[in-house]
Every structure is written in structure tokens, then in C-alpha cells.
Amino acid sequence: MRPVLVLTHAPHEGPGRIAPALDAPVQVRTVLDVADPRLPALDALSGIVVMGGQMDADDDRGHPGLAAERRLLAAAVDADVPVLAVCLGMQLLGLALGAHLHRRTGTEIGFGPVDVVADDPVLGALGVRPTVLHWHSDSVGLPVGATLLASTAATPVQAFRAGSALGLQFHPEVDVGMLDLWLATRDMADDLDADEIEVVRADGATHLPTLVPAAEKAFATFGESVRARG
């Protein structure tokens, strides 16, 4: 079976619970600071997963590899390759499909509900108003022709479907261990005071026992599309 390409942008923002749910080989690459990265050809892949990061999705001067990621994502949608894009990954996917990035449009950090507004075979496993982990300050518009799947007041586009690609602004890949890592990582938690960190930690203890198994079902459904491509 062809591998799933996982594009990461920070050592602490790996695929989390996504990778084991795929039941497929995984190839992890970090290319954001490479001006001309050699990414695998689409016919060598069964799917693509794009993770989060602290940089702006359009910061090609600071991180020239982002342009190559966007080109790959646009080509993947055209070729009907399964794509799962999370947080920065969703913003890159949106830009690749012609949407606009909105910088600093409303910071959301911590657990809170999203309103699911349309059916989707992957996202649907989370329920109609799941409480999920948010960790972003930028957002992206809805690409032309894409289906809006989830929304919050602060971030109107929390999830969308564009053909073979699913974008999620929030972080269902996170489990307790990954959350602890984020709360101990300066790049992630610098803007949080000690009380805010403890609130996020306590909310994780409350919500992750329900969220993690639901997310694993969602990722397994994505894995079915990956295995169907073979």
C-alpha cells in the first residue's frame, strides 16, 4: 500500500491520534523552510495529512516551503487524493483553493463547542456540537465550491469539505499526552498565564475521554478512503 504523507511544521505538532487510526504506512516530512522541497508525487501516495504550526499560512518569505505545500494540496484535490488538513493545514488548504487568510481575526485557545452545520462522513463521528480543542489566531475563508461543515461565532469557517479534502481548524488529534506537551511548550503556551493553563488542563481531563474515541472513529473513516486508494 502507498504511504500517507504527513506534513508537519513543528516538532510538538505531530499527527497525534490520526496516524494509528489510518491503518496505513505513514511518511512524515517537514519542508516549510526548504525553498524547493522534493515532495512525493501524488501517484506515490494514498493520502495526505497536513498538521498545525505557529506560522502564518501565507508567510512564504519566512517559510518558503509553504508554497510547495499549497501547490501539492491543490493538485491533490484535483486528483481526488484524500486530504485531512488541521489548523494551519486547513488554512494552507483554503489558500490552495483560492480562499483568503484572515490574520489575527479572533484568538481561540482552549476547549469549546463547534456547531456542525452539514453532514460529512468523517466529521460526523464527532457529533452535532462537539467540544473540541481550539488553538489559533488566524482563520481562512470558505473556498468557492467547498461545503461549510462547522462554525463558531469567532471563527465562521471551522471545517469545510472540498471534494476529497477535509479541513479542520480545531485539533481532534490531541490526546492527554499531547495536550500536556503543548502546555509545557513555550511556543504554544507563551500567551497563557498559569491559571489559564490549568483551565485548559482541567478541561482536557473533562472532555478528552469523550473526544478521543470519537476522533479516532473519524480518523478511521478517513483511513477507509486512504485504503480505498491503495
149-168 pLDDT, tens per residue?
Answer: 999 999 999 999 999 999 99
The one catalytic residue in 108, 134, 171, 216 is 171
Residues in the chain: 230
Q: Would residue 196 show up in a list of annotated catalytic residues for this protein?
A: no
The one catalytic residue in 87, 134, 136, 216 is 87
Q: Would residue 171 show up in a list of annotated catalytic residues for this protein?
A: yes
The one catalytic residue in 13, 108, 173, 216 is 173
CB 48 within 8 A of CB 83: yes
| Euclidean distance between CA atoms 166 and 50, whole angstroms | 10
Ranges of residues in the chain with a pLDDT under 70 are: none
* Residues sharing a CB contact under 8 Å with residue 179, sequence separation 6 or more, in sequence order: 133, 200, 201, 204, 208
CATH architecture for residues 4-229: 3-Layer(aba) Sandwich (3.40)
Task: Give backbone dihedrals phi and psi of 160, rounded to 5 degrees, phi first.
Answer: -150, 160
pLDDT tens column, 60-103? 999 999 999 999 999 999 999 999 999 999 999 999 999 999 99
Which H or E run includes 48? strand 47-50
* Residue 43: CB atoms within 10 Å: 8
pTM of the predicted model as reported, rounded to 2 decimal places:
0.97
Q: Would residue 173 show up in a list of annotated catalytic residues for this protein?
A: yes
CB 98 within 8 A of CB 143: yes
Give me the pLDDT at residue 108, please: 97
